[in-house]
Structure 1
Amino acid sequence: MNLPSGYNGKLYHLIDEVNRIKFSEPQKALELANFVYVQSLKSADELLEANCLYLLGVCHEILSSYPQAMKFLSEAIKLAQHLGEKKIMGDALNYVGVIHDNLNNYSNALKAYFRALKIYEDVKENKKIAIVLSNIGLIYTNIKDFRNALKFYSHALDIAEEENDSESLLITNINIGLTHSQLGNFEEALKFLDDALEQAKNSNDKRRTAIAIDHIADTNIKLNNKEEAFRLYEESRKLKLELEDKRGLVRLYGTLGHLHLVESNLVEAKINLEKALELATELGIKKSVHELHKMLADAYEKTNNSAKALYHLKIAYRKELEFLKEEAEIHAKNISTQLEIEQAQKEAEIQRLKNIELAQALEDVKKLNVNLKDLNNEKNEFMAIAVHDLKNPLQNILSTARILKRSAELPKSEMDEFTTNIINQTDRMFNIIKKLLDHNAIDQGELKIIISHFDLNALCKELISNFREEAERKRLELVFEEAPGETNINTDKVILYEILQNLVSNAIKFSSEFKRITLKVYDEENTIKLEVIDQGPGFSEEDKKKMFNKFARLSAKPTGDEHSTGLGLSIVKKLCELIGASLKLESKVNEGAKFTILLKK
């Protein structure tokens, strides 16, 4: 940066000082940045103001003041865009990504990182590119996609070594060490983490020194070197308190609480977990709040304090529902940066090729890659549902059963609440498993078609009767309008029931109270027409393009905390094809939906 002379030149030198001490003395850096910011406003120096806004955001992020950090970073981005200062924009966007990552908002984090990466590529800031690539890799580590994580770290490490940049080397070494530790490659993990710790200490980067120490301690726990691990945790605790690193303390106290809980050191466990919970609640880290309440419920259960255990378990249930809703919406596995990069490279290569046959061959490869990507996404989604969505209700059932076993004299209202929870969680698991098995049977061609002759009106009455209680629970009006007389049809009765069951279930799930859901049957000359009509949120044009895909996530959300696998409409489409029925949708956003099924008699 070409610094202006005079007073403003001195202010720019103070900016350099903020950058130098922000990790070692963040509070002092914040005070200095505030001073320079006020001076920038007085001198009407917009470039200085943009730099100050960015650094104020960074200092607040380091001090875990996330709302303040986002406010300053957003203002920095706007001003930098106005001034055409792309580097400041990229720096601010990178820290926006860091904040979202800290709060487990991985989708928003990746969006910010992508924007920063594009800017850094435009201005050829290779050192910054390495940092962003390493940050993206960390997200993949957090969601346990280690293969993609290591790809990004490898790319980041190559750039960092080529540029001989100590900061990006430090960040990447920490992240690679963390990933190897989680993979069980402990010797490799310690090699990278020890290098990172030495780099952090040499550069007086206290924040990253503490992070490296944490990961080295975690790895020692896995190696059963508990004495060394606790010594390192204490060293890290002192650094975090000095830096006022609240998020770091949430992680540290939570880890210590968990370790003491496993060792049945219940007094120490509760002390550390309560400290972590207080800070996590203050910072708004929902995932940590949920996990800490669950651990505290376990701790109090082990000390036979049923009242406290019930208190924390109730909150854990509520927080889990909130967290699962958000997690489903921000699932970062739907975003594969590596595939996007490879796809862009292939497209660029095709443009350069003049040989039509070679271009066609590459296009075929590209299509094959898209198919493989779809298959990989389906596999990831299947595993996410099977592991994550089944694990959580099982854990809840186990915890509830333990509480009930220890609490023989619970009031009837609380006993009913907990037994109802067990029933609901079991129903949820059953429905998930049924949907997955149904879809797999269809894909594998294992579903046999059994044609029978039956009265469609009677089948629909049975269906409506089975859904009546669920509809009334949500204060919905469920109406059946039958065709006159007997409406006989030849088709697979079980499959047709499954089609209608999925459509009516979806209508109930996505309708708000006091709405109407109608099932109509029309007996026409050569065909039978069925309609399922609701007054729900309807489908957007974007929804209509993907609504019949497996695991589709549409814009509408269930209105009563119900679970959605994204398989229902995909199953309906495939089942209709199996019995030769046509399926049509008429819908607009906020105007409900009408599904029409046409069957030959």
Structure 2
Amino acid sequence: MNHYSENINLTKLSKLNRMLLMLIASIFFLVTTLHGQQITTSDSLRISRAIENAHSALAKYDYNKAIGLANISLSESDSLNFSSGLINSLLILAESHKALSEYSSALNYYLQAQAELEKNKNYKELAKTNYKIGQLFFEWGVSEKALAYFNSVLTEDRVSLKEADQIDLLNRIAETYLKLDETDKSQETYQKILTINKNDGETDQIINTLRKIASIYNQQGQYENALRYNFEILELNKQQRDTLQTAVSCNTIGFLYKSLDKLPEALNYFEQALEYNQQINKNGSNYNSIVSNLINIGVIDQSMGDYKNSIKSFSKALNIVEKNGSKVETAVLNNYLASIYLSTGNYSDARKHTLQAIDLLKGTNNIRMMAASQKRLSEIYEKTGSYDLALDSYKQYSIIKDSLLYREQLNQEKEQYKQILVATVEKESKLELIDQEMKALELRNEKVKSEREKQEIELQLKEQELKNISLQNAQLERERQVQRLTLLKEQIEAQRRNQEITVLEQKRDLQDLQLKQNEILRTEKQKEIELQKSQLELQESQLESSKLQKQYLKWTVGLVVVILLLMLAGFITKQKDNRALQTQYDKINEQKESIEKINEELLELNEEKNNLIGIVAHDLKSPLNQISGILDIIKLTSKDQTSEHQEYIDKISDSTKRLKNMVTKILDVNAIESKTLNLNVEEINLKVLLEETIGHFEEMAKKKGIVIHKHFEVALSTAQVDAGYTSEVFENLLSNSIKYSPLDEEVYVKLSESKKTLRAEFIDHGQGISKEDMKNLFGRYHKLSARPTAGEDSTGLGLSIVKKYVEAMNGKVWCESEEGRGSNFIVEFKKVS
């Protein structure tokens, strides 16, 4: 039992020693680190001067010089572990690269500065740096990241923002929400700004915020709410006696009433805007605003049927523009007047103003307005019975509409659309680049963390060595105690034996010396005295042993109390860690639920989108069928019409057929996705089906000088498929091969077999397919970057439908192609043995 207690005490003592050793090692590591951060005054001044020079170069827009100086100060600060110099150098480098639009490099330096500030617990500068990172993401076009950093600054409890900084930050957040199309959150943020502005009584700031709120409502089509805020702006402008801004407010309110179809109210505010603009018009300097007001008034009068006042307003505007405006502006007003005169039957004045507009537009690049003017002139001549002149004007309209410049304008619009797509791709690439930068920073942090763990392991090894030495010392001490106890036990045993010997001797003496009583009495007294002495010595020895046991007990109790206190401290620390882990677990669960909810909403939106497309496409079929029927009737009853009219009718008929085909394809896609496709699977001879398909397209190929070669290397060509859908798959792929082949080329159609499958191949020597197009080749509404060589139509649905049909019939379809080397579309079905 005593040996077991000794082991427990020794274990507790070793734990206490280990904790003390860890504390000593931590203090040693901290002292060593602090000692390594000390730099001399001359070093500090030299680095500060370099940073000051870099700041000066940055202020003078000499960004390359600023980068060079900041790199020098960064290198020296890093070598001396000078934290302040390190942070300032990193921030200068970030600002310089940002000014040069080198956003990736700027982000890298900002993140390094952020990590250093967090390490130093400099929360004020950390908040400023996070704000700058948010601004960088905002300028870079990565609004999601910008919003995260702006919100982190706004919710930082350890830093109190000044009111001006808070307003600036809130404005940034509101603008970012607008970029993300989160208008409700943008409005909520602007309302917070408006409350602060009103408390401060800053009228200009109030007006500015009200304008932003009203603008969002206007974009959302909530014109009543937009009106409410614009009325507030109008009152504030009147209070400030700002005539120009009052005119602007009246004009804005007029447009909002027009959007609400409240034309009398719109007219009232347009007229007020005109009065204010006329008050501030000096030497004709404000003529543009006056002309704009007159046009707005004329348009409203025209919409209300008050043609007399409408003509009056447009005529006033025309008189001003003829003196100060450009030819195009004058032509616009002539067209307004011509349109009104045409509506009222005043063909003479309508013709006069239209001719003036045409004359003014000659030599300008405004082709669309010229085309509209020629079309109106044709209508005027037709109304007045001048059919030859009407035909001439209509031909001019057709020539202009189909002119090269007109097409160039359309191409410019297409180019703008492409730029939007490119911007979207660039944004995605920026997000990927940012993620890479973040990962690189995490790797650097992991490296630092691993170094620290290595140091901790070394400390633990040293601690283990000390622990082993302590255990050895304790073992030696225990052995010494055992030896002392053994020696004491032997001494007691020797005393006991001596007592027994003494008793035996006494008995022997009594037997031998009975005859000599005096001698015996004397001897007995002497023995008794000796016995009392020995007993007294024994008692003294026992008392000394008891004192030692009490001393050991006191030390043991003290040691147990210390160990219990340490265990209590460890338990409290563990409880805190458990609570922190539970909080993190709860946050992760909340984020998971949020993501699941968003996924459900996206699925619902996708289903609603498919339903809407299906409904719209289905509703279009009926009017298209009616148009086709009417065109058939016109063809039957219009034999006496001119060839030109007949050509127009044929073009309308072709367009109607293309639109019907497009609607049918959209419905087919929706049917496939909703799994309502009705298949009639039977044994079909693919060789016969391919020959029929080739026969359908020989005329189309012949027009482009294309020869179709067929190679059928099969003995048995029967497969379990739907004949109609398979035929449509073959027709689509052969049609694409012809569309994308140059003139006078060759197209190959092959049919081959393996043990289990039949393979049909459609090979052309056209433009081929780029790597980017290959990624989404079978996607819905995806158009290739390559275009049909003879201007044929493409809806972007064909290959998507092909893939859906083939997979519905348990087949496979894929493409093998290289850009500039043609394409090979391959379809495989299981063979009927």
Paired residues of 2:299 and 2:310 also in contact (CA < 8 A): yes
User: Residue 149 of structure 1 aligns with which residue?
Assistant: 219
| Structure 1 Cα separation of the partners of residues 368 and 334 of structure 2 | 15
Alignment partner of 1:491 is 2:721: yes
Alignment partner of 1:186 is 2:263: yes
Alpha-carbon shift at residue 495 of structure 1 (Å): 0.8
Deviations 1:134-193 (A, max 9, x none): 9x9xxxxxxxxx998346998999899699899899779767755763664535654665
Alignment partner of 1:308 is 2:392: yes
User: Residue 287 of structure 2 aligns with which residue?
Assistant: 206
Q: 1:430 to 1:271 in 2, by over 3 A?
A: farther
| Structure 1 Cα separation of the partners of residues 368 and 619 of structure 2 | 17
| Structure 1 Cα separation of the partners of residues 366 and 778 of structure 2 | 34
One-letter amino acid matched to 1:469: E
Which of 749, 754, 769 lines up with 1:539 in the alignment?
769
Q: 1:311 to 1:582 in 2, by over 3 A?
A: same
User: Residue 240 of structure 1 aligns with which residue?
Assistant: 321
Which of 651, 661, 681 lines up with 1:451 in the alignment?
681
Alpha-carbon shift at residue 497 of structure 1 (Å): 1.5
User: Residue 228 of structure 1 aligns with which residue?
Assistant: 309
User: Residue 703 of structure 2 aligns with which residue?
Assistant: 473
Relative contact order, CA 8 A, sep 6+: which one is greater? 1
Greater Cα offset, 547-556 or 216-225: 547-556
| Structure 2 Cα separation of the partners of residues 383 and 325 of structure 1 | 32
Q: 1:147 to 1:299 in 2, by over 3 A?
A: farther
Paired residues of 1:483 and 1:522 also in contact (CA < 8 A): yes
| Structure 2 Cα separation of the partners of residues 497 and 506 of structure 1 | 14
| Structure 2 Cα separation of the partners of residues 116 and 285 of structure 1 | 35
User: Residue 812 of structure 2 aligns with which residue?
Assistant: 582
- Helix, strand or coil at the partner of 2:794: coil
Larger Rg: 2
Alpha-carbon shift at residue 438 of structure 1 (Å): 3.0
Paired residues of 2:371 and 2:400 also in contact (CA < 8 A): yes
Deviations 1:296-340 (A, max 9, x none): 4434444322541551353266258777666566569988x9xx9
Instruction: In structure 1, list runs of 5 or more residues that go unmatched.
Output: 1-45, 48-80, 87-113, 137-145
Q: 1:191 to 1:181 in 2, by over 3 A?
A: same
| Structure 1 Cα separation of the partners of residues 249 and 619 of structure 2 | 29
Alignment partner of 1:252 is 2:333: yes
Q: 1:334 to 1:183 in 2, by over 3 A?
A: farther
Alignment partner of 1:562 is 2:646: no
User: Residue 591 of structure 1 aligns with which residue?
Assistant: 821
Alpha-carbon shift at residue 448 of structure 1 (Å): 1.0
One-letter amino acid matched to 1:456: L
Q: 1:83 to 1:450 in 2, by over 3 A?
A: closer
| Structure 2 Cα separation of the partners of residues 543 and 174 of structure 1 | 49
Paired residues of 1:207 and 1:239 also in contact (CA < 8 A): no
- Helix, strand or coil at the partner of 1:482: strand
| Structure 2 Cα separation of the partners of residues 254 and 418 of structure 1 | 28
Paired residues of 2:367 and 2:400 also in contact (CA < 8 A): no
One-letter amino acid matched to 1:311: K
Paired residues of 1:457 and 1:483 also in contact (CA < 8 A): no
User: Residue 520 of structure 1 aligns with which residue?
Assistant: 750
| Structure 1 Cα separation of the partners of residues 255 and 418 of structure 2 | 19
Q: Map 1:401-440; keep pairs closer than 5 Å.
A: 410=642, 414=644, 417-440=647-670
Q: 1:484 to 1:267 in 2, by over 3 A?
A: farther
One-letter amino acid matched to 2:396: H
Identity %: 23
Instruction: In structure 2, list runs of 5 or more residues that go unmatched.
Output: 1-59, 62-95, 102-137, 151-164, 182-215, 439-582
Paired residues of 2:618 and 2:667 also in contact (CA < 8 A): no
- Helix, strand or coil at the partner of 1:481: strand
Query: TM-score scaled to structure 2, two decimals?
Result: 0.45
Q: 1:555 to 1:527 in 2, by over 3 A?
A: same
User: Residue 730 of structure 2 aligns with which residue?
Assistant: 500
Alpha-carbon shift at residue 200 of structure 1 (Å): 5.0
One-letter amino acid matched to 2:263: F
| Structure 2 Cα separation of the partners of residues 466 and 585 of structure 1 | 23
Query: TM-score scaled to structure 1, two decimals?
Result: 0.59
Paired residues of 2:314 and 2:336 also in contact (CA < 8 A): no
Deviations 1:383-403 (A, max 9, x none): 9999999999x99x999x99x
| Structure 2 Cα separation of the partners of residues 289 and 382 of structure 1 | 39
One-letter amino acid matched to 2:765: Q
| Structure 1 Cα separation of the partners of residues 617 and 361 of structure 2 | 27
| Structure 2 Cα separation of the partners of residues 386 and 166 of structure 1 | 55
| Structure 1 Cα separation of the partners of residues 393 and 218 of structure 2 | 40
One-letter amino acid matched to 1:356: I
Paired residues of 1:150 and 1:176 also in contact (CA < 8 A): no
| Structure 1 Cα separation of the partners of residues 351 and 645 of structure 2 | 26
Paired residues of 2:302 and 2:340 also in contact (CA < 8 A): no
Structure with the bigger percentage of helix: 2
Paired residues of 1:157 and 1:169 also in contact (CA < 8 A): no
Paired residues of 2:361 and 2:370 also in contact (CA < 8 A): yes
Alpha-carbon shift at residue 514 of structure 1 (Å): 2.9
Paired residues of 1:334 and 1:377 also in contact (CA < 8 A): no
| Structure 2 Cα separation of the partners of residues 156 and 541 of structure 1 | 52
- Helix, strand or coil at the partner of 2:684: strand
One-letter amino acid matched to 1:442: I
- Helix, strand or coil at the partner of 1:458: helix
| Structure 1 Cα separation of the partners of residues 615 and 366 of structure 2 | 25
Alpha-carbon shift at residue 480 of structure 1 (Å): 3.3
Paired residues of 2:302 and 2:310 also in contact (CA < 8 A): yes
Paired residues of 2:250 and 2:273 also in contact (CA < 8 A): yes
Q: 1:564 to 1:583 in 2, by over 3 A?
A: same
Q: 1:490 to 1:416 in 2, by over 3 A?
A: same
| Structure 2 Cα separation of the partners of residues 376 and 421 of structure 1 | 35
Q: How many residues align?
A: 466
Alpha-carbon shift at residue 451 of structure 1 (Å): 1.0
- Helix, strand or coil at the partner of 2:795: coil
One-letter amino acid matched to 2:321: K
Paired residues of 2:254 and 2:269 also in contact (CA < 8 A): yes
| Structure 2 Cα separation of the partners of residues 169 and 477 of structure 1 | 73
Alpha-carbon shift at residue 493 of structure 1 (Å): 1.0
| Structure 2 Cα separation of the partners of residues 495 and 221 of structure 1 | 55
| Structure 2 Cα separation of the partners of residues 259 and 379 of structure 1 | 43
Alignment partner of 1:572 is 2:572: no
Paired residues of 1:207 and 1:243 also in contact (CA < 8 A): no
Alpha-carbon shift at residue 456 of structure 1 (Å): 1.2
One-letter amino acid matched to 1:458: V
One-letter amino acid matched to 2:402: R
Alpha-carbon shift at residue 532 of structure 1 (Å): 2.3
Q: 1:445 to 1:374 in 2, by over 3 A?
A: closer
Alpha-carbon shift at residue 563 of structure 1 (Å): 3.1
Which of 561, 573, 588 lines up with 1:356 in the alignment?
588
| Structure 2 Cα separation of the partners of residues 242 and 407 of structure 1 | 54
Alpha-carbon shift at residue 366 of structure 1 (Å): 5.5
Greater Cα offset, 493-502 or 363-372: 363-372
User: Residue 22 of structure 2 aligns with which residue?
Assistant: none
One-letter amino acid matched to 2:747: I
| Structure 2 Cα separation of the partners of residues 326 and 377 of structure 1 | 30
